[in-house]
Amino acid sequence: MKRLLAAFAGVCAAVLCALAALVAAPPAVAATLTEVTNFGSNPGNLRMHLYVPNNVQQNPAIVLAMHTCGGTGPGFYSSTEFASLADRYGFIVIYPSASKKMNCFDNWSEASKVRGGQTDPVSLMSMVTYVEQQYHGDPNRVYATGSSSGAMMTNAMLALYPEVFKAGAAFMGVPFTCFPNEAAYNPAGNSSPCVGKTAQQWGDAARNANPGYRGPWPRMQLWHGTSDTVVNYAELEEEIKQWTNVHGLSQTPTSTDSPQSGWNRRRYADASGTVQVEAYTIQGAGHSLPAGGMAAVAIQFFGLTGSGPSQSPSPSAAVSPSASPSVSPSASPSVSPSASPSNPQQGASCRITYRANTWNNGFTADVTITNTGTAPVNGWTVTWTWPGNQQIVGAWNAGITQSGAQVTARNVSYNAAVSAGGSTSFGFQGAYSGSNATPAGFALNGAACTTA
């Protein structure tokens, strides 16, 4: 009996100790919003707040979440559900704060309508690059979303940097290049400023920001309330015109439905069935989006919930998600071409035009190959050597491999042939530290090219 009592006492003591340990254990520390002050080039004079969940993925997706006029990044953090969704799915959220015109993002200046313009979009790109480098953010999973002024900037970022952003969700926005100048930027005083252009005109406005871009365009989700008196509901149709035209789609939806009461959804799918554009009409809603549950729909559209589109568009050549801009130059991120050149012609006469758009520690570059010879080139390989520590992290219109400072770009299936006197182009996104100097020379199929 004594042995039984002693054993029982020992069990009780062990249970009590375990309970005491549980009581004494400190609670898990919740992730918090943190301000980043030295994120890179910041011509827009923006502030950056960052939310990194405790369960952040090893190579996390990045969501750029932008507030309304008069708002702030911390305000958008506390008033929307993107942070709680980040806790659930492990992505990182960037919350920028605007500084111009009552804290509106610059959607009116000429600089805001061109790549590399010295205003808000460059500052926002610096934030994205910072997260890619410091947190190994996945450059193949970068997304933008925003409300009102932030929605307008969402349209702008996807048009200006289509190779960077894979999708966007714009709540109560207007098309890219809507406002001709700052005086026109007064949505409340002119609630339908962008009605009247054709789909072709709106599409051209986006394409003209990247005349050499031939890669896939980001998918777009659009939201608007029918009773919005600040940015009129009519602007939703203009946005639909712009993005369906950019994707080469009809303005007639491929499907319509009502996911829940008061929500009417139109979807615009491509020939493969992938929804490239979808538009939500919220019956009776004013200038108050996103409301409850809408952020989750946007994150699902991005493909971050594990139940996104059956086919997620990606560049014809892109690094694997495990690659990051912070890998050392000795690493060799591989961008596999969909077709290698067959019988590349040696000794072809050529001219290479190289144009880089640089921000702090990140850049994109457009490369144009001109065949200055008298015979066509059937299959091409362009090679060069970086003068610094540049590292390619994504590409379009070419398959690119890098070993140390040596880079090789090969044609893909649809641009292998370059006629005599003709040209083709490709591009890529990269990262660097120090200076982003231009390569000293390029070669086409082993023969040195002139540069322009």
Active site residues: 148
Q: Report yes or no: 81 and 165 within 8 Å, Cβ to Cβ.
A: no
Phi-psi sector, 372: left (phi>0), alpha (psi -120 to 50), beta: alpha
Identify the CA nearest to 437 among candidates 390, 373, 398, 399.
390
User: How many angstroms separate the Cα of 314 from the Cα of each of 216, 304, 452?
Assistant: 7, 15, 30
Identify the CA nearest to 348 among candidates 281, 301, 302, 416.
416
Residues 6 or more apart in contact with residue 15 via CB below 8 angstroms = none
Q: Which H or E run contains 73?
A: helix 73-79
CA distance 140 to 397: 16
Identify the CA nearest to 402 among candidates 377, 433, 360, 431.
431
CA-based R_g, the chain, Å = 25
CA atoms within 13 A on the CB side of 256: 5
What is the DSSP code (8-state) at residue 217?
Answer: P
325 SS3 class: coil
